[in-house]
Chain A
Amino acid sequence: MDLRTGLANMLCNGVIMDVANVEQAEIAEEAGAVAVMALERVPADIRKQGGVARMSDPQMIEEIQRAVSIPVMAKVRIGHLAEAQILEAIGIDFIDESEVLTPADPFRHVNKKNFKTPFVCGACNLGEAMRRINEGAALIRTKGEAGTGNIIEATRHMRIITEELQELKGMTGARLEDKAKEFRVPVELVTLVAKEGKLPVPNFAAGGVATPADAAFVRQLGAESVFVGSGIFKSENPLPFAKAIVAATANFDQPEKLLEVSRGLGEAMRGLEISEIPEHEQYAGRGY
């Protein structure tokens, strides 16, 4: 197995938390995060403030690397290979080519095979997941609507990918070739996924996770880990919320344990109804 996918495997059954400064990174580590995502503004703030969202200041990312012992991830704009080169030069552990930032290339994603650093990319469906894997992504995540605290889109993507995998499993010969054309990937990759019945890299949930119950829910739908963006530091009590989401991710199928960790946490992030977001401001449609 590829070393980049190897690290993705080590992150399984864990929580990756968005952090905007050293103090938040330390809280995330104390709560038991398996990794932190360093970015200047969490998605909820990017949404509110508007403007072009870019890679964070490398100095801010380096400060977070020095502050914690767990892996540090950071985001680049879709297709922005120079931002990715800068993050690799920092020695970042994982790069998220993310639709939450403003896309930089109208035609292509980064050719991730040219990097030693592993990449995670979002996908709404199986074809998108396979295109990203074919470009070298070591890890796939859903493209749930970031910064909304609303789980419905992540759920949609998990369900669609699961169903499409199921459908692909029974296919052979010419039908696999048709699928390869539809997905715009080599038939070898489609054949491999059809044979295994699963993607060759882990699949995590991201976008809209706001409570321990949300984390347990997406885990039960098949997500191997959970990214939490605005859900922690936009809640009333970030540390208890973060700890509870970590406990719920590991004990996702234990209702008694979920009850215990969900009690008395205070208010979750406020959240947004998806239909209130104009279509051009929805992130999931970004990417090719």
Chain B
Amino acid sequence: MTRIGVLSLQGCSGPHEKHLEKLGIDALRVRFPSELAEVDAIILPGGESSTMIKLLRINGLFDELARFVRERPTWGICAGSILLAQEVVNPTQPSFGATRIRAVRNAYGSQLYSKKSTVSIPQGKKMSSPYSFEVDFIRAPRFELLSDEVEVLATGEEGEPIMVRDRNTLCTSFHTELGEDSGLHEYFLREFVESVSS
């Protein structure tokens, strides 16, 4: 049985548990190294990345999670994608370097510039058809690619990447967990978790 962890130090972790449970997957809250050892894949939720970094250090989880996300299926959402990035600016802060992107924090502006949008992604290896879904951008970061090997799965209004894949990692600058649609969670399961474990 696949077990997916949800980093639960700070931020919007609860809704991910609900989506995973809806898909029949065991969701485990991860705050300590012993809990990380129990999971096959992990979701790093939205929240405040600068707060999460401090709590990762306080709970002795930073180095172990850094190793985990370089090898195992990992999905970073908004703040979570900032943790995964190779480089973080505005301002600079430590990160895991698992996804070859530069994350520019708050690049779209304050909460006034938060917005809803529709995103379409092409069919995957295991998902049989293209897929469209509603997303929320909340004080979102902007991604800049640092390698040609990073695959852009969706782009925003100005053609900028908003959803990327790099090896075992998926990064989205937007949120889908606040709505009822579990489609992107299913996508992560099929295209990342199952691909790696099978």
Question: From B47, which residue of chain A is reached at the shortest CB distance?
Answer: A10
Q: Which of B14, B48, B91 is close to A14, meaning CB atoms less than 8 Å apart? A: B48
A29 at the interface (CB under 8 A from B): yes
Chain A interface: which of B20-28, B110-118, B185-193? B110-118
Q: Is the interface of B mostly helix, strand, loop or mixed?
A: loop
- Tell me how many residues of A have a C-beta within 8 Å of chain B: 38
Chain B residues proximal to chain A, CB less than 8 Å:
8-15, 31, 46-48, 50-51, 54-55, 58-59, 78-79, 90-91, 105-106, 109-112, 114-116, 136, 138-139, 175, 178-179
* Shortest Cβ gap from A203 to chain B (Å): 13
Assess A9 versus B178: contact at CB under 8 Å? Given A69-B105, A250-B55.
yes
Asked if A250 and B106 make an inter-chain contact with CB atoms under 8 angstroms apart, the answer reads: no
**B11, B51, B179: which has the most chain A beta carbons within 10 Å?**
B51
Report Cα–Cα, A43/B111, bound state, in Å.
26
> Which residues of A (216-262) have their CB < 8 Å from a CB of B?
243, 246-247, 250-251, 257, 261
CB-defined interface of A257-272 with B at 8 Å, one 1/0 digit per residue?
1000100000000000
Closest 7 CB pairs of A and B: A32-B54, A1-B178, A93-B111, A91-B110, A34-B48, A9-B12, A13-B10
Report Cα–Cα, A29/B49, bound state, in Å.
11
A170 at the interface (CB under 8 A from B): no
A71 at the interface (CB under 8 A from B): yes
Instruction: Given contact pairs A1-B178, A7-B114, A32-B55, enumerate 4 new A-B contacts (beta carbons under 8 Å).
Output: A14-B51, A32-B51, A69-B105, A93-B110
**What are the residues of chain A within 8 A of B8 when measuring CB–CB?**
13
A187 at the interface (CB under 8 A from B): no
* Shortest Cβ gap from A258 to chain B (Å): 12
**What are the residues of chain A within 8 A of B105 when measuring CB–CB?**
69
Asked if A91 and B112 make an inter-chain contact with CB atoms under 8 angstroms apart, the answer reads: yes
A193 at the interface (CB under 8 A from B): no
Asked if A117 and B55 make an inter-chain contact with CB atoms under 8 angstroms apart, the answer reads: no
A285 at the interface (CB under 8 A from B): no
Question: From B111, which residue of chain A is reached at the shortest CB distance?
Answer: A93
Assess A3 versus B115: contact at CB under 8 Å? Given A91-B110, A93-B139, A246-B54.
yes
Report Cα–Cα, A257/B61, bound state, in Å.
14
Report Cα–Cα, A1/B8, bound state, in Å.
21
* Shortest Cβ gap from A64 to chain B (Å): 12
A186 at the interface (CB under 8 A from B): no
Report Cα–Cα, A7/B109, bound state, in Å.
14
CB-defined interface of A12-51 with B at 8 Å, one 1/0 digit per residue?
1110000000000000010111110000000000000000
* Shortest Cβ gap from B12 to chain A (Å): 5
Asked if A250 and B9 make an inter-chain contact with CB atoms under 8 angstroms apart, the answer reads: yes
A152 at the interface (CB under 8 A from B): no
Assess A71 versus B139: contact at CB under 8 Å? Given A12-B11, A117-B111.
yes
Report Cα–Cα, A104/B105, bound state, in Å.
37
**What are the residues of chain B within 8 A of A243 when measuring CB–CB?**
54
**A1, A6, A117: which has the most chain B beta carbons within 10 Å?**
A6
Q: List 28 A-B contacts (CB under 8 A).
A: A5-B178, A6-B178, A7-B138, A10-B11, A10-B12, A10-B48, A10-B139, A12-B13, A13-B8, A13-B11, A14-B11, A14-B51, A29-B50, A65-B110, A69-B50, A69-B106, A72-B110, A88-B112, A92-B110, A92-B111, A93-B111, A116-B112, A117-B111, A118-B111, A246-B54, A246-B55, A247-B55, A250-B59
